[in-house]
Structure 1
Amino acid sequence: MLKQLKYTSILALSALAVACSGGDSGAGTAETPDGNKFNLTNSTKGLVGSKTMDGKLIGYNQNHSFYGVWVNNDKTRQQVRYQGTATPTDRLPRGAATYTGHAVRARDSVIAQNINGVQADGTMTLHVNFDTKKVSGKLGIPWARDITLHETDLNGNQFAGKASVLFNDGGRYKGGLFGPNAEEAAGMATFDNNPSLNTSFGGYR
């Protein structure tokens, strides 16, 4: 399982035993590009992380979903990610909800609060209208450009749309709603023309 982290200027991550998750609830099993597997369902909730064979996985583990980033030791490769147990479409609520939480990206900075090259102190605000089936939001990134998640359609328990930052409107975002009653949201924004902007996000309503 993943170990809980606290912000420090220098943070040692403990080694993690490989485990597979069972059942159909929780965040499931995460596999990193270098071959490690982690049982997120049975891991500590909140900001968590661990060393992997050739990097580290850091993110936020929610009750039914996970979002974060994997970065290799040389900091030449990264993977933003999210996963979880999707909400059954017949269990989506009515009305509107605002999800609040965090945003995570790979970033080395002496200004931004970061953990071994991962900035985990961003914020997420996601507005979901279940009646009009619309989604929009914003990712606040301290000491960097905020990401706008432009209004898009909610298709069942999933959404995908345009993302932009100041001077760059070439991004896309996608995500989903997780938990028995859409208690959680998670997703990621990616910029093919500038991967350093790639960010995962999530939170609770």
Structure 2
Amino acid sequence: MLFSKPRARSFLLATAATLALGFACLDASAFLRAVPAAAGAEAPAPADPQPAEQNQARRAIDGKAIHDPANPEARRLQTIEEATRHLPYDANGFPDWMRALQEGKISPRSDLSGKAGMEVLDLDIVMKNTREMPHVRFPHRSHTLWLACSNCHPAPFEARAGSTQIRMADIFRGQYCGQCHDRVAFITFFSCQRCHSVPQGGASR
């Protein structure tokens, strides 16, 4: 096949761009794969939160004006920093609710009286339909420390493994896990590794 010089140059540039994109995707795929921790190694300490103005997640949310600045009463509303100043923050600049629970900063009640105990289930579920990403480990314990089974079952999740088809696109739209995450719990879009934590090939049920 013969090309004129301009067409040949365009063809070569397009081919080079395609190859470069392919190598970049392969490189990113390798980067996103989880690496097993060494035996006996302690879990890494949470990273120190960045100032809100330096954090991509905080900028993405704080930049959205949801109150009318012309309303003088808007200034009476608490900022997130004022409302959560006594809580630990995660690396994305938002409250780390699990650390707050573990450190005794908050004490969720199982009912209004606070007399009943929580029914804690210590069971991890590994979700393997994650394509090139590491598998997802869902820890029941960290959720049932302050949520009842009825908060999640039978809706939005059926209480049978594999019966509910979950897609990241749905989570980003506020469905399934997105009913809590991206609202109160940690931001999924900036915290992939917190769920995708099990290396492919090494997951256990």
TM-score (norm 1): 0.29
Return the index of the structure with the highest Cα Rg: 2
TM-score (norm 2): 0.29
Larger fraction in strand: 1
